[in-house]
Amino acid sequence: MDSFRRFQDDDYKNWIKTTMGLNCLKTRLGGFLEHETETYHDHLRNKVNANKGDLCTTQCNLKKWMPRPKQVPQVCEVCEPWRDEIWANHSFKGGQVYWNNSKPYLWPTKKWEVAKVYMPRGNMDHTAVDQFDISAFLNLMTQCSYFAKFVKSKTLITQVTNVRNQVMHSADFRVEKRELESYLGRIKDLGQALKTHYPKFSELTEEIEQLEELQCVRVFLEGNNDLQKSLAPQWERLTEVQERVDTLTFRVDTLEMNTRTHDPEFSTDILKYKNHLYEEARRQGWPEPVFSEIKEALGYRGRVQVRGQTFEGVQVCPKSKTAHQEVAKLALSQLAKDCASLSELANDTEEGEASSSQTDQPQSLSCTGPVFFGSVTVVLKTDITSGEGHSGMTEAVQSAYKKLALLLDLPESASSYKDVVLEHCHTRDVPPPEEAVQSDAEEKTYQCTLRFTGPITFYVPEGSSKKKQACQQAAKVALQRLSGVLGSKEVMGGNYVSTLKELLEAQTPQLDKPAYDVTDRGRGAGEVTERGEWRNVEG
């Protein structure tokens, strides 16, 4: 089941770009640390000043040693001076130090056995630079004071650790555009700081900037068969996304060609701008757009009022229907450009209403036959969790609210996701989610769980010619969006309505039956808020 919504695709690509950015950094860190760990190891050897012949005869090992803050393990007298030097350079003495990652008897001869004391658990069996992950590298650089001289502030490193955690713990493989810019920026900043010490970091910025191209992602994956295998489901989605982008590009091209050749008769395939504008208004909570047209000597010029703005078409079309499509497209592209300031405008309804009252009176809308738009409302009682491993409490809380915001299909916002969700709950008279934050004090990680109880309505962007189909479409959207919450189930004979019903019944506690609603936009229906069980599916 393809659970992608129209606006999600880019976020998935952003997730891949972030992991690729981390990979570019990791490759260079490997070279840098191979060299610097060697230097550090030599430095320790001099400090320990051991007689070359002194070797650990008891094969000291720490397999059974449990990490305890501020404590060092007992070792033999040959290993002892090494232990003390490693400890003296440890800047995380109050936390969990994984001495048991390493084998003390190898300290005098193997640099990575020393380095592993500054790494997180799970590195016990790693002995060469290629075997460590980026988290191991970043920990080494923050926990070993030798590396402090390479970066002015540890924040440069912890900011990248945070990116790595966000990507690793992302349950839905999604990163927003704004986050992507911030994430790649942090990776570049660390590269910039290190380039004077290791010249290969110089190309990092350029390489990361190339990631902006979608094509790069595919080329990268095509060249990395292992990764492609392990990312198989995501790879399929990516291909699908690319196909959709191609289709849409083709449609836009066709449209523009039609415009240029003064043949404004739109094909049925692209008679969608008007619907999309209605859907967007509904998503954003704006009043329903009002279409009208101005009669001119050669035909009609479209006009639409939406979000307090009035748009007028740039061309004169022989039919009013076409004029509406043309102005809807114009309005959509203008509104998309305003996207950055969208959230501010959403809070700006008073001004918006004031300006809309200044515009001309709308003329009556010409009908284009029945077009049914389905929606379904599901009342949820569910826990949304941030995933583990957030280094800060605020971060864990925001991450959980972000997931809930996506589920509720709330617009991106310049303010926090928590604010957006609480605002939504407030305006819809839904109780705010119950927040619970768990922390693992020793590991310093946080997880946030939100219990959300309330209705969510799922709208279908495209209209259907039949009511029954409109309901099936609505159920399909709900199933896709809720797959992370309700789980999934095979859809028999295309009957999404009955699958949704069964899945809701299968929840513990059992959830209420969904409520369907169908409006005929061809006749210009208003907002639908009424709930009721929809009974006509089987009929």
User: Least distance to Zn ion from the beta carbon of 127, Å?
Assistant: 18
User: Least distance to Zn ion from the beta carbon of 108, Å?
Assistant: 10
Q: Which is nearer to Zn ion, 56 or 255 (CB)?
A: 56
Q: Which is nearer to Zn ion, 76 or 148 (CB)?
A: 76
Alpha-carbon gap, residue 224 to 233, rounded angstroms: 15
Task: From 56, 131, 61, select the one nearest 99 (Cα to Cα).
Answer: 61
Q: What is the dihedral of CA 440, 442, 443, 444, to 10 degrees?
A: 70
380 conformational bin, left if phi > 0, alpha if psi -120 to 50, beta if neither? beta
User: Least distance to Zn ion from the beta carbon of 234, Å?
Assistant: 47
Q: Which is nearer to Zn ion, 104 or 308 (CB)?
A: 104
Q: Which is nearer to Zn ion, 56 or 156 (CB)?
A: 56
User: Least distance to Zn ion from the beta carbon of 217, Å?
Assistant: 49
Alpha-carbon gap, residue 306 to 346, rounded angstroms: 12
User: Least distance to Zn ion from the beta carbon of 80, Å?
Assistant: 8
Q: Which is nearer to Zn ion, 79 or 317 (CB)?
A: 79
User: Least distance to Zn ion from the beta carbon of 105, Å?
Assistant: 5
User: What are the CA-CA distances from residue 426 to residues 235, 454, 527 (Å)?
Assistant: 39, 12, 19
On the question of a cis peptide bond just before residue 509, with omega within 30 degrees of 0, the verdict is: yes
User: Least distance to Zn ion from the beta carbon of 60, Å?
Assistant: 3
Please name the residue that has the structure tokens 């060469």: 128
CA atoms within 13 A on the CB side of 327: 25
Q: Which is nearer to Zn ion, 48 or 471 (CB)?
A: 48
Alpha-carbon gap, residue 76 to 5, rounded angstroms: 62
158: CB partners within 8 A, 6+ apart? 138, 142, 391
* Encoded tokens for 334: 């203008």
Q: Which is nearer to Zn ion, 56 or 511 (CB)?
A: 56
Paired with 458 in beta bridges are: 376
Give the three-state DSSP class for 310: strand
How many residues are recorded in the chain?
A: 539
Please report, as ranges, the residues that interact with Zn ion according to CB under 5 A: 56, 60, 75-76, 79
Q: Which is nearer to Zn ion, 113 or 517 (CB)?
A: 113
User: Least distance to Zn ion from the beta carbon of 88, Å?
Assistant: 18
User: Least distance to Zn ion from the beta carbon of 78, Å?
Assistant: 5
Alpha-carbon gap, residue 189 to 473, rounded angstroms: 46
Alpha-carbon gap, residue 46 to 454, rounded angstroms: 66
Please name the residue that has the structure tokens 């009609």: 300
Alpha-carbon gap, residue 504 to 524, rounded angstroms: 32
Burial level of 340, CB count in 10 A (0-12/13-18/19+)? exposed
The amino acid at 92: F
Q: Which is nearer to Zn ion, 78 or 504 (CB)?
A: 78
User: Least distance to Zn ion from the beta carbon of 151, Å?
Assistant: 33
Q: Which is nearer to Zn ion, 72 or 422 (CB)?
A: 72
Q: What number of other Cβ atoms are within 10 A of residue 492's Cβ?
A: 10
